[in-house]
Structure 1
Amino acid sequence: MKYHKIDSKLFIKNRKNFAAQMQAKSLAVFNSNDIYPVSADSTLPFEQHRDIFYLSGVDQEESILVLFPDCPIEKHREMLFLKETNEHIAVWEGEKLTKEAALATSGIKTVYWLQDLHKVMAELMSQAETVYINTNEHYRANVETQTREDRFTKWLKDKYPAHRVAKSNPILQRLRSVKDQIEIDLIQQACDITEKGFRRILGFVKPNVWEFEIEAEFMHEFLRNRSKKFAYTPIVASGNNANVLHYIENNQQCKAGDLILLDVGAEYANYSSDMTRTIPVSGKFTARQKAVYNAVLRVKNAATKMLVPGTDWAAYHKEVGGLMTKELLDLKLIDKADVKNENPDWPAYKKYFMHGTSHHMGLDTHDYGILTEPMQANMVFTVEPGIYIPEEGFGIRLEDDVIIQAKGDPFNLMQNIPIEADEIEALMNK
């Protein structure tokens, strides 16, 4: 791994919190992700399943975590099953976790090799009454591929049909949405790497540069700062491309006078950052561009202050919509008749600002969190309003990552990343 070792006390605490929510005489199972094939002998880079990582820190394929807090045999109350390593694997693939390294990483003392799984599970299931399975219930999930977790769940339910089944996901949705200080520090590190990338490109962008060249500058800076990749597919959208919300081609030339919408973020130790900035190709905004830019910034700043404990998700977005409506009226993009006659299910402002303002962030860019429950301290959210004007050939979005504080305004993890229009112009023209 490129990242520095994470203190195992994070994972010990996470397992303790999860176990405290489990039913009596129950066990829970968490699988690593598959390595997905491309073609021939090619594979996609491995990405660990965030749930097993959250609970163990194990960041390699073919790994299984089992939690059984009420097990009568103490050593079986938490266990790891790992792919057995040997000298041949070390030469061809690199070192895998030994039992000693797994203990240091996770704080779990009982480590078996995978070939012992079925034998040990037979003993465990004879002592358990309920088994927690781990399904993906994120509100944005749309998974067509059968995962390793899916296959294991099918095997488990077929093999042990008399056991009650419970779901891990509701517990994890709540636990993962509230961040430990160690997690906040890791997200901050991802944000700091993103800042370095952004400052790098401010001195690089000029008329006729290509979007993919800007993407490459970010990637260079991310890799040299121990990030393995973008936290999500980057958006480098110049001109009217910015009006395509998930534009990812990044294959056009940036023209003088245009704006570039940059929605990029570095990962660090599997934790995400998520930044959006909009900058002028020529190093200076036009008066109209700056007016729209500052309108978006005002909405972002006002929306940020609403992120306090107890805030209701739906009410927050409705209030942000009111702020955006005022700005669009001032910009003469909509008029009072549009507002008066608007459809309550799709208000007038949605013509120019059609997406949500915030989402949870953490191990996943769109992280776990139950949207029907009030916001809590130590949740991390993005704040990302935008105004998109195809008829004028540009779109502007601004986005920071903030932590809800127990008292006072949220803490902006991206407070050092330039965002004021004048500062961006000054840095681009140094």
Structure 2
Amino acid sequence: MKYHQIDRNLFIKNREKFITQMKPKSVAVFNSNDIYPVSADSTLPFAQHRDIFYLSGVDQEESILLLFPDAPYEHQREILFLKETSEHIAIWEGEKLTKERAFEVSGIKSVYWLPEFEKVLFEIMTHAETMYINTNEHYRATIETETREARFVKWWKEKYPAHAVAKSNPILQRLRSVKEKEELDLIQNACNITEKGFRRLLGFVKPDVMEYEIEAELIHEFIRNRSKGFAYTPIIASGNNANVLHYIENNQPCIAGDLILLDIAAEYANYSSDMTRMIPVSGKFTDRQKEVYNAVLRVKNEATKMLTPGTLWKQYHVEVGKIMTSELLGLGLLDTADVQNENPEWPAYKKYFMHGTSHHLGLDTHDYGILTEPMQASMVFTVEPGIYIPAEGFGIRLEDNLVIQESGEPFNLMRNIPIEAEEIESLMNR
């Protein structure tokens, strides 16, 4: 891995938190992701399943974590099953985790090779009453491919039909949404790498540069700072492309006078950052562009203040909608009749701001978190309002990453990344 080794105490703490939520005499199992084929003998780059990483720090394919806190023997309470390395694997793929190295990474003493899994599991299941299956219940999830985890759950339930079944996901949704200090430091590092990439662009962008050239500058900066690359598919949208919310072609020229919407961010150690900034191709905003830009910035700043413990996500978005409505009236994009006659299910402001303002951030860009429960300290949220005006040929979105505090305003992990229009102009015209 490119990143520095993470202190294993983080994963020890994470397992302790999960175990305290388990029912008596229960066992939980977590699997690595598959390596997905492209065609012939090609594969996509491996990306670890975030849950097994969260609980163990193991960032390797074909790994299994088993937790059985009420096991009669201590060595059965936390177990890792790993792909055994060999001289052949070392030559062709590089060495895998040894048992000793796995302990250094995870803090788990009991490590077996994968062929021993079924035998060890059988012995454990004779003492267990409930099995915790790990299903993906994220509110944005759309799953069409059968995962390694899903195949295992199907096999496990068929093999042991007499056991009660419980779900790991509700526990993980709550645990993963509230970050430990070590996790906040990792997200901060991802944000710092993102800052380096963005500052690199301020001296690079000029008329007629291609969107994909900007993407190339970013990936260069990210990887040279120990990131695997983008935390998500980058959006580099010049001109009217910015009005396509998930524009990812990144294949058009950047024309003088246009704006570029940059929804780009680095990952670090599997933790995501998520940033959006706007750059004027010619190094200066027009008066109208700056007027809309500053309106979006004001909405972002006011929305940020509402990220406090006890806030409900749904009501928060209602309040942000009111602020946005006021700004759109000021910009002349809405009039009072539009607001008075609006459909409560789709308010007038949605014509120009049709997406949500915030989502959880962490190991996933759209991270775990139960949206019907109040916000808590140490949760990390994005704040990303936007105004999209196809008729005027541009759209503007601004986005930072915020940590909710016990009291007061949230802490901005992107506080050092330029966002004021005048600062961006100044840096671009040095």
- Which residue of structure 2 aligns with residue 55 of structure 1? 55
Which residues of 2 match residues 21-420 of structure 1 at below 5 A? Answer: 21-420=21-420
Amino acid at match of 1:81: F
- Which residue of structure 1 aligns with residue 7 of structure 2? 7
Give the distance between the partners of 1:138 and 1:18, measured in 2 at CA.
18
Deviation (angstroms), 1:60: 0.3
Deviation (angstroms), 1:222: 0.1
Give the distance between the partners of 1:38 and 1:8, measured in 2 at CA.
34
Give the secondary structure class of the aligned counterpart of 2:350.
helix
Give the distance between the partners of 2:150 and 2:130, measured in 1 at CA.
18
Instruction: Tell me the TM-score normalised to structure 2 length.
Output: 1.00
Deviation (angstroms), 1:279: 1.1
Give the distance between the partners of 1:414 and 1:253, measured in 2 at CA.
28
Give the secondary structure class of the aligned counterpart of 1:184.
helix
Give the secondary structure class of the aligned counterpart of 2:263.
strand
Give the distance between the partners of 1:136 and 1:103, measured in 2 at CA.
27
Deviation track 1:88-119 (CA, whole Å, cap 9, x = no partner) reads 11111011000000000000000000000010
Give the secondary structure class of the aligned counterpart of 1:124.
helix
Cα RMSD for the two superposed structures: 0.3
Amino acid at match of 2:418: P
Give the secondary structure class of the aligned counterpart of 1:39.
coil
Give the distance between the partners of 2:349 and 2:196, measured in 1 at CA.
34
Give the distance between the partners of 1:175 and 1:409, measured in 2 at CA.
22
Give the distance between the partners of 2:178 and 2:333, measured in 1 at CA.
39
Deviation track 1:57-96 (CA, whole Å, cap 9, x = no partner) reads 0000000000000011110000000001111111110110
Amino acid at match of 1:9: N
Give the distance between the partners of 2:397 and 2:203, measured in 1 at CA.
21
Deviation track 1:353-399 (CA, whole Å, cap 9, x = no partner) reads 00000000000000000000000000000000000000000000000
Amino acid at match of 2:91: V
The percent identity for this pair of structures is 79
Structure 1 unpaired stretches of 5+: none
Give the distance between the partners of 1:229 and 1:418, measured in 2 at CA.
21
Count the aligned residue pairs. 430
Deviation (angstroms), 1:298: 0.2
Give the distance between the partners of 1:365 and 1:293, measured in 2 at CA.
24
| Consecutive aligned runs of 4 or more in structure 1 exceeding 3 Å deviation | none
Give the distance between the partners of 2:118 and 2:229, measured in 1 at CA.
36
Give the distance between the partners of 2:37 and 2:122, measured in 1 at CA.
31
Give the distance between the partners of 1:328 and 1:228, measured in 2 at CA.
39
Deviation (angstroms), 1:420: 0.1
Give the secondary structure class of the aligned counterpart of 1:42.
coil
Instruction: Tell me the TM-score normalised to structure 1 length.
Output: 1.00
Give the distance between the partners of 2:345 and 2:70, measured in 1 at CA.
49
